[in-house]
Amino acid sequence: MGLVDRRPNRGAIVAVITPAHLASMFESMAELEALCATLAAERMTLVERRELDFRHQQSKRFVDLDAEDEYEAFNSTFHSALYRGSHSSHIEELTLTTRARLAPFRRVQFRLDGRLARSWNEHNAIVTAILSSDGAAAASAAKAHVSFVSVASATYISGASDISAGSEHHTIRLTAICRS
């Protein structure tokens, strides 16, 4: 997944990821999620749409209870349903692989004040577009959602690591994220 660097005859170390590379990974994720949302709006069955909406509406209780762990688990299920709903196994596989690589960075977003409610509202825009079979709106909402996740994650990470402004050579150590 690129989270560990293997050094011949010297073992493995935690990977160091530059902010530019992290931004690039989130950019890729935004495009993949937008594609999945477009295809889901076009291809999801009525049963899949109803299930997506039902689960989304049920997740509001996690927001109301400020239940981070439960919402995080739902969030994973929600996004997997979008990928499955694309009805494209290769795109689903690419998106899941990219999501797994970003998992340590995505997870920290829920530690920011008000992020659960904002995430739910972002999901709501995606669900509304899918229920309306509006692929363009679903793509736009999904891309915006991942962009917000990227900013939220970077905001949290910048406070949790020793990144200083003004230098392009700063790195993000995964240990700073894993402490959270």
Q: Where are the domains of the chain?
A: 4-178
**Integer Cα distance of 165 and 7 in angstroms:** 30
**Tokens 């050579």 appear where?**
169
Rounded to 10 degrees, what is the CA torsion of 21, 155, 102, 139? Answer: -90
% residues pLDDT > 70 (the chain): 76
Q: What percent of the chain has pLDDT over 90?
A: 56
Alpha-carbon distance of 106 to 117, in angstroms, equals 16
CA–chain centroid gap for 149, Å, is: 6
Lowest mean pLDDT among 1-5, 77-81, 94-98, 120-124: 1-5
* Residue-wise pLDDT tens digits, 30-51: 999 999 999 999 999 999 999 9
According to CATH, the topology of domain 4-178 is Four Helix Bundle (Hemerythrin (Met), subunit A) (1.20.120)
Over the stretch 133-146, which tens digit does the pLDDT of each residue have?
999 999 999 999 99
- Spatial CB neighbours of 79, under 8 Å, sequence gap ≥ 6: 33, 99
Per DSSP, what are the bridge partners of residue 173? 16
The separation between CA 127 and the C-alpha centre of its own chain, rounded to angstroms, equals 16
| More reliable by pLDDT, 20 or 98 | 98
9 Cβ neighbours under 8 A, 6+ residues apart = none
Reading the block at residue 2, the tokens are 């690129």
Average pLDDT of the chain, as a whole number: 82
pTM more than 0.85: no
Q: Side chain identity at 162, as an amino acid letter?
A: D
Closest by CA to 71, choosing from 82, 85, 59, is 59
Predicted local confidence at residue 97, as pLDDT: 93
Give the sign of the dihedral formed by CA 64, CA 40, CA 80, CA 20: negative
> Is residue 153 predicted with pLDDT exceeding 80?
no
